[in-house]
Structure 1
Amino acid sequence: MDIFTALETRRSIRHYTGEPIDESKIIEAIKYAMYAPSAHNSRSWRFILTSKKEHLLQLSKIHPYAKMLPEASWAVLFCNDMNAEKTEGYGALNVAASIENFLLAIHGMGYGAVWLGIYPRQERMAMMRDFFDLPDYLLPIALCSIGVPQNIPPQPNRFEPEKILKIYK
């Protein structure tokens, strides 16, 4: 799949078949996540992966939008290492860029995923810190649910030229 097709056809996938996905595929997608740009090349992203069914079930109960996790194969917690952040506040942007790379890689492999926001919701960050026993310097940014898609919804045309506010020539 070329990059333009991947960009146009990636969708948030919330319904999975329950089929397992090999750990090596998730690690490969994490590799591509690490090719994202980052402020000052700080590469402040950190990742926690789980395929434990009890984790997926518990996470589905503590995150208000994670009801799909019991059918997922994996969940990945994306964190910012604040000790590695060279410019305060940019770490969340670094991690967000890595998440987009991850989602595109998962899509390119034929799997589905959805981005579940955590940061900047204090209550969600606290729940994830507690659940994963995170040290204070790790800031949970988002959780991604990954699985074999039950179906792939059609992709609408999302180009909205009216959102280009100005073009200076």
Structure 2
Amino acid sequence: MDSIFMRTSIRNYQVKPVEPEKLEQLLKAGMAAPSACNQQPWEFYVVQDTVTLRKLSECSPYSACAAHAPAALVLCIRREGLVYAEDAPLDMSACCENILLEAAQLGLGAVWLGVYPQRDRMLSVANALHLPDTLESFAIVPVGYPTATAVQQDRFDRTRIHIV
């Protein structure tokens, strides 16, 4: 559980590539997430091209950090063949969280940049990556080695717990 309590949103990265085996480990972690009826609605784009990273950095008011990341994972929802299509965003959220936790475990920094359900952001990502019509962008996760360490704030709040 250490990675849960050490995970922070990291937006500044060293100029150092992320090893292919670590990127693969992040993807394995994402694909290990639970999903409704095991539908696994995810598809991933691993972006390392600086021109494409720059395009992704312009997809939302909050995505500028992608331009300076050595890599970004773009999580997409596969819309065909799903048993419970309405649950796909929930599945994708679990997938994204697994990736963030694994990044912390591997000594990497990452941040969840929301794209879904804002249609303008989804369209910007689709255009940047030339996504097929069968995919919808869900999130951009820039990843790299952090320039500084960050400590997670304690968010535990007993007043939000109700025992019945």
Instruction: Give the TM-score band, short-chain normalised.
Output: over 0.9
Residue 45 of structure 1: aligned partner: 42
5+ residue gaps, structure 2: none
| Aligned counterparts of 1:138 and 1:71: Cα–Cα separation in 2 | 26
1:103 aligns with 2:100: yes
Secondary structure of 1:62 counterpart: coil
Residue 17 of structure 1: aligned partner: 14
- The 5 A counterparts of 1:129-168 are 129-164=126-161, 166-168=162-164
Residue 120 of structure 1: aligned partner: 117
Residue 84 of structure 1: aligned partner: 81
| Aligned counterparts of 2:125 and 2:159: Cα–Cα separation in 1 | 38
**Cα deviation, residue 147, structure 1:** 0.9
- Between the aligned residues of both structures, percent identity stands at 32
- Structure 1 stretches of at least 4 aligned residues deviating more than 4 Å after TM superposition: none
Number of paired residues?
164
| Aligned counterparts of 1:29 and 1:66: Cα–Cα separation in 2 | 20
| Aligned counterparts of 1:34 and 1:47: Cα–Cα separation in 2 | 10
Q: Contact 1:15–1:71 at 8 Å: present in 2 too?
A: yes
**Cα deviation, residue 160, structure 1:** 1.0
Q: Say what the alpha-carbon RMSD is for the aligned residues.
A: 1.1
5+ residue gaps, structure 1: none
Secondary structure of 2:131 counterpart: coil
Answer with 150-159 or 118-127: which moved more: 150-159
Instruction: Provide TM-score, normalisation by structure 1.
Output: 0.92
Amino acid at match of 1:39: A
